[in-house]
Amino acid sequence: MRHSISFYKMVASGNDFVVVDNRRGIVKDAVAFTRKVCQPHQGVGADGVLLFESSKKANFRMRILNLDGSEAAACGNGFRCIALYAHDVLKYSSRMNFESGSGLIEAQVGQKNSVKVQLVKPRVFELDAVIEIRKHKLHYMFLDTGVPHVVIFVKDLEKAEVFEAGRAIRNHSHFQPFGTNVNFVEVRGKKEIAVRTYERGVENETLACGTGSTAAAVVSVLKGSVEAPVKVLTRGGESLQIDMQMTGAEITKVFLEGQAQFVYKGEYLQ
């Protein structure tokens, strides 16, 4: 008889995930499982896998693996999905904390599937730098909101070469050996930006990226282009809200809020 693994398909702002309760270690080889289950035609199809595991330091531990099998330290949209899963399926309190590769994450599940998470303190590496890509010089910012992100401001987001330029920057020698995610940002107002993201691990543009939206909002605030809280319009058409606390010119806390949804429950046959 073939072995089956129960899972939930979840989505947040266009990022979709396969969520598995792995407290009993039912996923033996997380990399192989992820590569198979995330395939759009031969598997379930998803941007990544979220594994719910036990923790001695917090309510639980979350692991996230990208569709190529690489493990990510953080995923803002994944954080919101796992928090809703913990609350609605496993009956955890609406307020919780959990371990991630980037550190301890605080989460609160609100009404209508809205989830607010406090991410790790952002670390800014380069606030105004220049990189040459395909004989063009681009001004960029480089920071870490749990995972590394490059932020580039553009005047017309629809014309941005997200895949071509994003892939070139992601693989540029300056960001090796781990590479970086790349966000193209258009300022839409004093409290609103729009973002398109090329994600490493997925190696393509995704419909949304929580840590990328956060990075874009943080840089926009630091440069004085917008004021917090910041509304972030994603490629998938949904909006996220990024709020932050500051001490002087330093951002000390940052919060990501938006809706997460269950799509369906299933059994994956091994």
Residues annotated catalytic, as ranges: 75, 209
Q: Which neighbouring-strand residues pair with 18?
A: 9, 49
Determine how many CB atoms are found less than 10 A away from the CB of residue 103. Answer: 12
- Report the distance separating Cα 63 and Cα 14, nearest Å: 19
- What gap in Å lies between CA 33 and CA 15, rounded to an integer? 19
What is the widest separation between alpha-carbon atoms in the chain? Answer: 62
Cα dihedral 201/265/86/11 (nearest 10): 40
CA dihedral 19, 231, 104, 182 (to 10 degrees): 80
155: exposed, middle or buried (C-beta count within 10 Å: 0-12, 13-18, 19+)? Answer: exposed
Would you say 83 and 53 are in contact if contact means Cβ atoms under 8 Å apart?
no
